[in-house]
Chain A
Amino acid sequence: MSATNDAFLETFPVTLRDAATNWLPAPWNWLAQGLIAVVAVLAIFGSLFAILTLVERKALGRVQNRPGPNRTGLPYTARLPWLKFTEGKIFGLGQPMADGIKMLTKEDIVPREADQVLHFIAPVAMLAMSLMTFAVIPFGRNLVPVELDASVLYFFAAGAATELAVFMAGWGSRNKFALLAAMRALAQLISYELPLILSFVPVVMIAGSLSTVGIVAAQSSWHWGFIPHWYVLTPWGFAGFLIFMVSALAESNRSPFDLPEAESELIAGHLTEYSGFKYALFFMAEYLGMTALSGMAVTLFLGGWNAPLPFLQFIPSYVWFAVKLLTLLMGFIWIRATLPRLRMDQLMHLSWKFLVPLCLVNLANTTVWHLTASLPLAVRWLLCAVIIVAPFTLIGRSLTKGVAPRTYRYAE
């Protein structure tokens, strides 16, 4: 491992940052390093957001058997010899730019009856809060913007404030659809906050640390040299990961939990009265929130920036983080394309009657795992798997009694 620690590519971002700031006196040096981290996060995740919107539209198009955006090109690209065959359209890669320009130049409409202050603060607060969560995610070895002792707690404290922004948007618009949708969104956010937080408590218990750096470090070795120590590969970790991802879907208001924005029922939810750049800010905050939650899932369960196999360590750690992050994001898009929306009562039941009890069982399960450390790994693994799978089946069966399995009758 020591050979890879100081490989050129591995340390490159930190070297670059130090080279840029070392000529400054000590107190300014610290400030400049912080600023560089902020600018880097803004630039990387800002452009990731732009690319993600295009990828999502393309992927949705694929799933729904249509081409997706493929016309918007960039000027002058048709003159490049190796891009000549695209006739300047380059597979629709110019779409994010066109969208951005459209959003910026649209008229910003504020309803006359609206609460002007809240209507203005809501998108700003939303985006600020979702950007703040990026501060504690370790993007690679030594690549964490702020190292805190309680960084996991910080992440969820900053995330909790987005609920207020949703309320401000719904209330400030003075629109019944906006208010109704905001209430729906709040009920959903509060209900899923519980399983979201309970699902990673086992990780904190086993790693013995609330710091993201510590949790990644606890996952950085291998059983017998080839099975990584990632928490997703333990029974409680796998259950926690699944619950975390389902709750993350709900927290970021994505399909199949997109009831707050259910466009066929509530126009556009709490965003009804927003237009132009404010709407774009909300849109951006939603994608950034999804990215941050995926990053946290990677950190907590998927081993963070660790390589899956020892001999793959020559690839820089931030590349591994990016690969895992993009995989999760593609999963989000895939789920959006395939699953229909839930009903409001189903949504609530899923959280309170299914996910929360499972989380509590999982906590006890983790205790069993911790106390049976002397048993051989396979026995321990099977025991814990039974402890979590049995309640899953039992609760699932009792909740779907009389409903599932569904029978389908096709028209003649």
Chain B
Amino acid sequence: MIAFAVIALLILASASLAMCLRNLVHSVLLLVANWAGIAVFYLWAGAEFVAFAQLLVYVGAVSMLSLFAVLLTRRSFHDLDIIPESVSRATWALLTAGAVAGVLIGTILGSPFGNVTEAAPAVSMRQLGEELAGTHVAGLLVVGIILTVALLGGVVIASKDKEDKS
């Protein structure tokens, strides 16, 4: 339970801090800490494979994408500090998010979950591989196609148009 408390604190603190900071680079780096914290949560829950996949994809790849995007959409070092949002917008956003969280937590606390299984489900790497290439092979193929299309689409969208040489 202490481990869970530490992980939860890491996840929530890094996420909320990231969303409050002015400096974009700091925000992104804190979000990376948040993703790493989620990977630690997966490890804590016993899902080794997902934890490492999370680290590889989010900490290794998505973080780099975001940082590159941050650096490509600014003009100088001082351009990074974001103009503060209007107070009414922030208030409404916080109220909405709070209401959603309230409803969710109320439902969770109110619903009967019965007894939880104590032992973590044991699943070996080999079993996972066989499931992935057997039962879920259609999903695997679709994901492969989606990733390829997304990669090509990303390159096409982000590359410069031929005519505007500005």
Please tell me whether chains A and B touch each other in their complex, using a CB distance cut-off of 8 A: yes
Which residues from chain A sit less than 8 Å from chain B, CB to CB? 115, 118, 148-150, 153-154, 156-158, 160-161, 163-164, 167-168, 171, 174, 183, 186, 190, 193, 208-211
Min C-beta distance of A112 to chain B, whole Å: 14
Give the dominant DSSP class at B's interface. helix
For chain B, which range describes its interface: under 10, 10 to 19, 20 to 34, or 35 or more residues? 20 to 34
Q: Which residues of A contact B60 (CB under 8 A)?
A: 157, 160-161, 163, 193
The 5 A-B residue pairs with the shortest CB-CB distance in the complex, in nearest-first order: A160-B60, A157-B55, A153-B52, A157-B52, A149-B125
- In the complex, residue of chain B having the shortest beta-carbon distance to the beta carbon of A211: B125
Supply 6 further A-B pairs (C-beta < 8 A) apart from A150-B49, A167-B64.
Answer: A153-B52, A157-B60, A160-B60, A160-B61, A183-B71, A208-B126
Instruction: Verify B29–A190 contact, CB threshold 8 A.
Output: no
User: Contacting A168 at CB < 8 Å: which of B29, B53, B124?
Assistant: B29
Instruction: Verify A153–B56 contact, CB threshold 8 A.
Output: yes
Instruction: Verify B56–A210 contact, CB threshold 8 A.
Output: no
- In the complex, residue of chain B having the shortest beta-carbon distance to the beta carbon of A179: B71
User: Contacting B56 at CB < 8 Å: which of A160, A171, A174, A186?
Assistant: A160
Can you list 21 pairs linking A and B with CB atoms under 8 Å apart?
A: A149-B49, A150-B125, A153-B56, A156-B56, A157-B56, A157-B59, A158-B55, A160-B55, A160-B56, A160-B59, A160-B60, A160-B61, A161-B59, A161-B60, A164-B29, A164-B59, A164-B63, A168-B29, A171-B25, A186-B68, A209-B126
Alpha-carbon separation in the docked complex, A167 to B125 (Å): 33
Which residues from chain B sit less than 8 Å from chain A, CB to CB? 25, 29, 32, 48-49, 52-53, 55-56, 59-61, 63-64, 67-68, 71, 77, 124-126
- In the complex, residue of chain B having the shortest beta-carbon distance to the beta carbon of A155: B52
- In the complex, residue of chain B having the shortest beta-carbon distance to the beta carbon of A183: B71
User: Contacting B124 at CB < 8 Å: which of A149, A183, A190?
Assistant: A149
- In the complex, residue of chain B having the shortest beta-carbon distance to the beta carbon of A210: B125
Alpha-carbon separation in the docked complex, A299 to B84 (Å): 52
- In the complex, residue of chain A having the shortest beta-carbon distance to the beta carbon of B54: A157
Q: Which residues of A contact B55 (CB under 8 A)?
A: 157-158, 160-161
Alpha-carbon separation in the docked complex, A183 to B68 (Å): 9
Alpha-carbon separation in the docked complex, A209 to B125 (Å): 8
Min C-beta distance of A135 to chain B, whole Å: 13
Alpha-carbon separation in the docked complex, A118 to B68 (Å): 17
Min C-beta distance of B58 to chain A, whole Å: 10
- In the complex, residue of chain B having the shortest beta-carbon distance to the beta carbon of A117: B26
Alpha-carbon separation in the docked complex, A153 to B55 (Å): 10
Instruction: Verify A190–B64 contact, CB threshold 8 A.
Output: yes
- In the complex, residue of chain A having the shortest beta-carbon distance to the beta carbon of B36: A161
Q: Which residues of A contact B67 (CB under 8 A)?
A: 167, 186
Alpha-carbon separation in the docked complex, A156 to B53 (Å): 10
Q: Which residues of A contact B77 (CB under 8 A)?
A: 174
Q: Which residues of B contact A193 (CB under 8 A)?
A: 60
Q: Which residues of B contact A190 (CB under 8 A)?
A: 61, 64
User: Contacting A118 at CB < 8 Å: which of B29, B125, B126?
Assistant: B29
Alpha-carbon separation in the docked complex, A164 to B61 (Å): 10
Q: Which residues of A contact B25 (CB under 8 A)?
A: 115, 118, 171
Min C-beta distance of A210 to chain B, whole Å: 5
